[in-house]
Amino acid sequence: MGDVQTFWKGFVLLCKIKVSLSPLCSQGLFGVPELSGPAGFQMAQHQALREAEFLVHKACTHPPGAVTVETFDQLSDSLCRVADLADFIKVAHPDAAFREAAERTCVEIGTLVEILNTNVDLCQSLKNLLGNEAVLATLDSDTRRVAELFMFDFEISGIHLDESKRSKAVALNVKLLDLYHEFLNGSQLPNAIDKQVLPEHIRHCFSIDGNRVQIGGLHADSPNDLVREAAYKIFLYPNTSLLLCLDELLACRHELATLVGYESFSHRALKGTMAKTPGKIIRATSRDFKMMKEMKKKTHTTNPEVMPWDHAYLSSAIRTEMFNIDPSIYSPYFSLGACMEGLNRLFMQLLGVYFQAEQPKMGELWSEDVRKLAVVHETEGLLGYIYCDFFRRPDKPHQDCHFTIRGGRLREDGVYQLPVVVLMLSLPPPSGRTPSLLTPSMVENLFHEMGHAMHSMLGRTHYQHVTGTRCSTDFAEVPSILMEYFASDYRVLSQFARHYQTGEPLPENLVSRLCESKRACSAADTQLQIFYAALDQVYHGKPQYRSTTDILREVQEKFYGLPYVHDTAWQLRFSHLVGYGAKYYSYLMSRAVASMVWRQCFLQDPFSRVMGERYRREMLAHGGSKEPVLMVQGMLQKTPTIEDFVDALVLDLNVHFFLQNTRAEFLAFL
Domains of the chain: 29-117+119-157 (1.20.1050.40), 189-237 (no CATH), 330-520+608-639 (1.10.1370.40)
- Name residues of the chain where pLDDT drops below 50: 1-8, 10, 13-14, 16-25, 280-304, 655-670
Cα distances (angstroms) measured from residue 278 to each of 253, 265, 314, 583, 614:
16, 10, 33, 10, 31
- pTM (2 d.p.): 0.85
Distance of CA 475 to the CA centre of its chain: 11
pLDDT of residue 575: 92
Question: In sequence order, what are the beta bridge partners of 421?
Answer: 386, 404
- Give the pLDDT score at 300: 42
Query: How far apart, in whole angstroms, are the C-alpha atoms of residue 605 and residue 514?
Result: 20
Rg for the chain, CA atoms, rounded: 25
Name the β-bridge partners of 386: 373, 421
Q: Which residues of 14-28 are buried (b: 16+ CB within 10 A; e: fewer)?
A: bbbeeeeeeeeeebb
Burial 589-616 (b: 16+ CB within 10 A, else e): bbbbbbbbbbeebbeeebbeeebbeebb
d(CA 43, CA 407): 21
pLDDT at 277: 55
A 10 A CB-CB count for 576 gives 15
Handedness of CA 382, 383, 384, 388 (dihedral sign): negative
The reported pLDDT for the residue numbered 650 is 78
Which element (helix H / strand E) includes 45? helix 40-61
The answer to whether 548 touches 568, Cβ cutoff 8 Å, is no
Q: Measure CA of the first residue to CA of the last residue in the chain; give whole Å.
A: 51
Query: What contacts 24+ positions apart, CB below 8 Å, involve 98-102?
Result: 98/38, 98/366, 100/38, 101/38, 101/39, 101/40, 101/41, 101/42, 102/41
Q: Report d(CA 150, CA 126) in Å as an integer.
A: 8
Q: Say whether 516 is catalytic.
A: no
Q: How confident is the model over 93-121, as pLDDT tens digits?
A: 999 999 999 999 999 999 899 899 999 99
What per-residue confidence (pLDDT) applies to 409? 97
Quote the pLDDT of residue 297.
44
Which of 449, 477, 484, 618 does the annotation list as catalytic? 449
Which of 359, 358, 365 lies closest to 35, judged by CA?
A: 365
Report d(CA 239, CA 536) in Å as an integer: 20
Pick from 354, 350, 352, 378: which is nearest to 606 by CA? 350
354 - beta bridge partners?
376
Q: Is the dihedral of CA 602, 604, 607, 610 positive or negative?
A: negative
Write down the pLDDT at residue 395: 82
Long-range contacts of 128-133 (CB under 8 A, 24+ apart): 128/64, 128/68, 129/64, 129/65, 129/68, 129/69, 132/64
What is the rounded distance in angstroms from the CA atom of residue 61 to the CA atom of residue 218? Answer: 56
Give CA–CA dist 597/583, Å, rounded.
22
Task: For Cα atoms 333, 337, 339, give the angle at the middle one, nearest 5 degrees.
Answer: 60
Cα(524)–Cα(519) distance, integer angstroms: 10
Q: What's residue 665's pLDDT?
A: 30
Rounded to an integer, what distance in angstroms lies between the CA atom of residue 553 and that of residue 292? 20
Cβ atoms of 494 and 342 within 8 Å: the answer is: no
